[in-house]
Amino acid sequence: MPAYKKPVSVLVIVHTADLQVLLLERADHSGYWQSVTGSQDPDETLLQTAMREVKEETGLDATCYELTDWHIENQYEIFMEWRWRYEPGITHNTEHVFGLKLPIIVPVYIAAREHLRAIWLPWQEASEKVFSSSNAEAIRLLGSSRQ
């Protein structure tokens, strides 16, 4: 395991066919809701990162559902409170957006060290609840284009 995180990550919008979106509340920051996210490990493709993060954060096997690379790349400034995880001087992260489409709401099993709880919300409500603007934009895109 590297000493520092790689400043490349995935954002996976887990949703149902009728556009219910899964959100997770961060354990390290109560009240911060988000979709599945995580940094890319060395020698891992972005698809592998998305699959691993979905499994780690929800217990879901992404190979059993429709995982799609949305070919969206966001760059954002890393919050000061989390910069210690990256090499000194790293201030920005590149995020790659994926969608995981499930036929219906299924039970998820959250990683207690990462998240406090999980909820399913209609896409409009989910886009308003997440703390990240890129996460909100991806959820709005889901609703407008029905990915």
Sign of the alpha-carbon dihedral angle for 34, 36, 40, 45:
negative
57 is in an annotated binding site: yes
132 is in an annotated binding site: yes
How many C-beta atoms surround the C-beta of residue 94 within 10 A?
13
HSE, side-chain direction, 13 A CA sphere, residue 117: 4
Q: Which residues in 1-91 belong to E strands, given as ranges?
A: 8-16, 20-26, 33-34, 36-39, 66-77
Name residue 74's amino acid.
N
How many C-beta atoms surround the C-beta of residue 44 within 10 A?
15
26 is in an annotated binding site: yes
30 is in an annotated binding site: no
Antiparallel, parallel or unpaired: β 92-102 and 66-77:
antiparallel
Name residue 22's amino acid.
L
Q: Which residues are annotated as a binding site for substrate?
A: 5, 26, 37, 132
Q: Which residues are annotated as a binding site?
A: 5, 26, 37, 53, 57, 114, 132
